[in-house]
Amino acid sequence: MEIKVQSSKLNAISSQALVLIVFKNQKDEVDLGSEGQEINSLLNNALVKTIKSEFWKAEVGQVLTCYGNDKLKTERIILIGGGKFSECTPDTLRVLASYIISKAKSLKCSTLSLVIEEELVKKFEAQTIVSSLSDGFYLGSYKFLKYKTEELKNHQLPEKVSLVFSAQKINLKETQNAIEISKLFCSATNFTRDLVNEMPSIATPKYLANVASGLKNKMITVKVYNKNEIKKMKMGGVLGVSAGSNLEPYFVHLIYKPEKVKSSKKIALLGKGITFDSGGLSLKGSDHMETMKLDMAGAAVVLGVFKVLQVLKPKIEIHGIMAFCENMPSGTAIKPGDILTTMKGKTIEVLNTDAEGRLILADSLCYATNLKPDYMIDLATLTGACMVALGEQVAGLMSNNDKLTEMIKKASKISGEKIWELPLVPEYKSLIKSEVADVRNTSKSRYGGTITAGLFLEEFTENIPWAHIDIAGPAWAETIHGCCIAKGATGFGVRTILTLVSKVL
């Protein structure tokens, strides 16, 4: 699917469908805007008549279709409701674009033209508009169809989408460049979605280590450590979690260095890479196990980010650090009451083998601190408690550094991925103190589980500026929401991190 910006008169637009986003005014009335009124005039008042006859209210995502005439070079007119104009945000545009692409697929339109309203350009910069719409088109058009034999044959996207500015003077080069950046970010996101959606019998630790190896190029080097090398590094957390599986663990270190640019900053991105989480001997219920292939979503985000770094070319040094393993029950699995020794000697009492992500992240953080980065950020589907607190669409953010927190929040606002800060409450540290080891992997309280998990991870950061992003909720969509309208993996986090490394840091 190719998305292009163009400047054109409405009666000169040639496509199978012409789309107009229609908003409501402050009186809650449908407002066609100047472009809509012009189209209505060309259609001899057909738009207004259809709106009245169908009692169409321009609610968000509400669709209305009319047919064109000889005054317009288009077969049909599609109106998509935008809700109140005063409440429109860039994220609204992303969602609307996903609805539009869904409608275009159902109509099997090969060409599509979306008219950008003049008032919209007064509200947002042109680059923001086209970038948000492009996000919605590319993310909304995604479906994991590898195993859907019939649907795969019939999955038809528009070949060409035009974003048309009819009444405004814009910089076509700058707006087109915004689309190309959006396309790059979304391709990385959809790459991540493919990895998470893949069945766990294929997306094994070795498979994902091979995916990481395949990212090697002139700007990215890859180090892959096997089980014996993990033993030599004394990564007791990784070895303990993987002990119950017949599949060996792998530890991956990706290194991106910008060409011909002396990097002033070094950032380490860490991702939780549990390729399947049964809970170990603290076995999950079967209904909670059905989607546990998603437990490597944090690592998949890191892989998605590295997928496009050679094209994006950020001017900072970036390290990607991931431990890949399964958490399975067997006669060799770790048991509640076992004590693991991490890479730098700190010991962990394991009281629940289903709190395994923090165990492999402990070793990952130990490894990352040896690199002396300016910042460390880990992404993990870590706690169900975060979903209890923030729901399924918002990630939790905890950090030991205010500057890093603000930069992540700024990147999140630009990307449209919702992140909310939670506190690292010092008084809660006593809840993860063990009687027989340095720390325990579960809290003594049933409350504040996301915060105590963050405090656990902080134990291994050595005071390096660090942030933890708990993506347990938004990494996976049980119901259709937002602009990623397919159920399953969302790739949440990729666009925020890419925004952070390219525009914020």
Q: Which residues are catalytic?
A: 284, 358
Which residue is associated with the tokens 């609610």? 59
Whole-number Å distance between alpha carbons of 406 and 408: 5
- Strand, helix or coil at 257? coil
Q: Using the 8-state DSSP alphabet, how is residue 500 labeled?
A: I
CB 307 within 8 A of CB 215: yes
User: Nearest CA to 57 among 106, 85, 23, 11?
Assistant: 23
Distances (CA, A) of 352 to 198, 282, 283, 362: 27, 6, 9, 16
Whole-number Å distance between alpha carbons of 3 and 34: 24
Whole-number Å distance between alpha carbons of 454 and 425: 10
Backbone φ/ψ region at 16: left (φ over 0), alpha (ψ -120 to 50), beta? alpha
Alpha helices, H only, 318-401: 357-369, 384-390
Question: Given CA atoms 381, 383, 388, 389 in this order, what sign does their dihedral have?
Answer: negative
Whole-number Å distance between alpha carbons of 370 and 263: 18
Whole-number Å distance between alpha carbons of 82 and 57: 10
CB atoms within 10 A of CB 52: 10
Q: What is the DSSP string of 152-216?
A: HHH----SEEEEEESS----HHHHHHHHHHHHHHHHHHHHHHHHHHS-TTTS-HHHHHHHHHTT-
Helix axes 126-140, 90-107, angle to 10 degrees: 50
CB 80 within 8 A of CB 61: yes
Distance of CA 188 to the CA centre of its chain: 9
Alpha helices, H only, 290-395: 297-307, 309-312, 357-369, 384-390
Q: What is the DSSP string of 279-307?
A: -TTSPPPHHHHTTGGGGGHHHHHHHHHHH
The one-letter code for the residue type at 409 is: K
CB atoms within 10 A of CB 269: 28
